[in-house]
Amino acid sequence: MSPKDEPMRQALQLAAKGLFTTAPNPRVGCVIVKEGAIIGAGHTQPIGGNHAEVQALNDAQEKGHDVRGATVYVTLEPCSHTGNTPPCADALIQAGVAKVVASIEDPNPLVAGKGLARLHAAGVAVECGMLADEAREMNIGFLSRMERGRPWVRMKIAASLDGKTALMNGQSQWITSAAARDDGHAWRARACAVLTGIGTVQKDDPQLTVRAVVTPRQPRRIVVDSKLAINEKARMLEGGAWVFVAEADEQKAKALRDAGTEIIRMPDRDGKVDLTAMMTELGKRMINELHVEAGAVLNGALLRAGLVDELLVYTAPCILGDARGMFALPTLHVLTQKFTLRFHDVMQIGDDLRILARVG
């Protein structure tokens, strides 16, 4: 760790305070340094509120500090367009700061280097790239939506050491420990939406809400239900949900719509939901991170379609033997057909191992 990086590390810590709150905006932290001391700090507020840079400027002003000639450390390039708030680049210029250090450029086409260019044109020194990897991790979903037009897809699975997720009779509560389940809720909370399949809804009737950690907002709930087979009293529909279908009985669809559920018809050529088109639609609806908690059928379909970015697997120290697996996948005949993953992070949570494995 370099002392030079310390202000940016503190900015990243501030950005993490927006982990559950800033979507669909990115999570951004900012600190203002003058004569070796931090004189202002802030992070992006929920949508419609101040961005991190303005929060930090206001913080410095409230403490009686003069920011003229200061250096600003911010985890994402300051915006250069007017959205719900005025451009942050302009606020920094007007405040008279001497230098802006950004971790990464903002890939939003409305920004994409224009913020740093505007600062440079106004005589503010600019630097970009400090702790870039950490900054990308903080906003992996936002960057995915901006760069690929679809959310970052994280598939959560709880399994035994031999990769089984339930007994053949469907019993699965509980394979993993309470600590692992609570940790899973924290990952659920950071997502913009939670996705499941109709099989899971019919078998478990899940709520798909965040309950084990404190969060100011609940993620959107989504179900893939090709033939609109969902029970109108399903718990996940309470408070509104999105249901992706290939076909639907119009009378039932109307009843669900009247009760606050949105029905989105998106069929593929086989009469199922077009999963690739669904991901594009979710990107348009500003879903940054999509948290999947489904059964083997939908898990396998998403994996085969190349739509899974990472697996969040909680592995319990037990063996279930002849039981249900993680994915419904076709039989492979040569090892070159295998799905390749790489371990990104491995940690013990309670009695279990949490494995974050990325595709590709």
Q: Among this protein's residues, is 310 annotated catalytic?
A: no
- Picking from 166, 267, 254, 259, the residue whose alpha carbon sits closest to that of residue 225 is 267
Is the Cα dihedral 346, 347, 353, 359 positive or negative? negative
Phi, psi of 29 (to 5 degrees): -120, 155
Among residues 6, 35, 53, 262, the one annotated as catalytic is 53
Phi, psi of 353 (to 5 degrees): -100, 135
β-bridge pairing 29-34 and 71-74: antiparallel
- Picking from 319, 3, 302, the residue whose alpha carbon sits closest to that of residue 163 is 319
Integer Rg of the chain from CA = 23
- CB neighbours (10 Å) of residue 260? 11
Give the distance, in angstroms, between the CA of residue 348 and the centroid of all CA atoms in the same chain: 22
Phi, psi of 149 (to 5 degrees): 75, 15
Catalytic annotation, residues: 53
